[in-house]
Amino acid sequence: MDQDLSRIGVSLPENLLGKFDEIITKRGYSSRSEGIRDAIRGYIRYYDWMSEVKGERIGILSLTYDHSQRGLVTSLMDLEHEFTTITRSSVHIHISHDECMEVILLSGEGKDVRAIAERVMALKGVKNVKLTTIRPGQEV
């Protein structure tokens, strides 16, 4: 059944839109709108999945970020210190002049694992955040 459609206007950096258009062309979407609807569905699914992260968890949080973004390096460090009870280790890779990658290994209560991931995602200058979690002692 067709649902009522709302029309929205979104401002995007040109390079972001360019990359998005490249992907939807490659994937054969009939329109930009269809690609955006699919991306939003994926975002919602990921959020729903995140909401289910609870109980004892091992977490792998990976992110890339622009280290020239003012205050970002300090904010990330502050977060790792704030969540010191679950932060076990981190690896930092300098990808290019401005871009860094960090992988943070977490272990503890799922809601804390989720909380640090959400806080990292909300920081300006953070580009790609992925959280993978494992329940200790359980087969996937």
Q: Taking the CA of residue 41 as centre, how many other CA atoms within 13 Å lie in the half-sphere pointing to its CB? A: 6
Q: Residue 135 interacts with Ni ion (CB under 5 A)?
A: no
Q: Which stretch binds Ni ion (CB under 5 A): 4-12, 28-36, 98-106, 113-121?
A: 98-106
Q: Residue 117 interacts with Ni ion (CB under 5 A)?
A: no
Contact in structure between 85 and 106 (CB atoms under 8 Å): no
CB closer to Ni ion out of 36 and 72: 72
Q: Residue 104 interacts with Ni ion (CB under 5 A)?
A: no
Q: Which stretch binds Ni ion (CB under 5 A): 34-42, 68-76, 91-99, 124-132?
A: 91-99
**Tokens encoding 133:** 């979690």
Q: Which stretch binds Ni ion (CB under 5 A): 21-29, 34-42, 77-85, 94-102?
A: 94-102
**Tokens encoding 67:** 């280290």
Q: Residue 76 interacts with Ni ion (CB under 5 A)?
A: no
Residue 61, C-beta contacts closer than 8 angstroms, at least 6 positions apart: 103, 104, 105, 106, 113, 116, 117, 120, 129, 130, 131
Q: Residue 94 interacts with Ni ion (CB under 5 A)?
A: yes
Distance of alpha carbon 24 from the chain centroid:
20
CB closer to Ni ion out of 41 and 94: 94
Q: Residue 127 interacts with Ni ion (CB under 5 A)?
A: no
Residue with tokens 């955006």: 36
Binding footprint of Ni ion on the chain (CB under 5 A): 94, 100
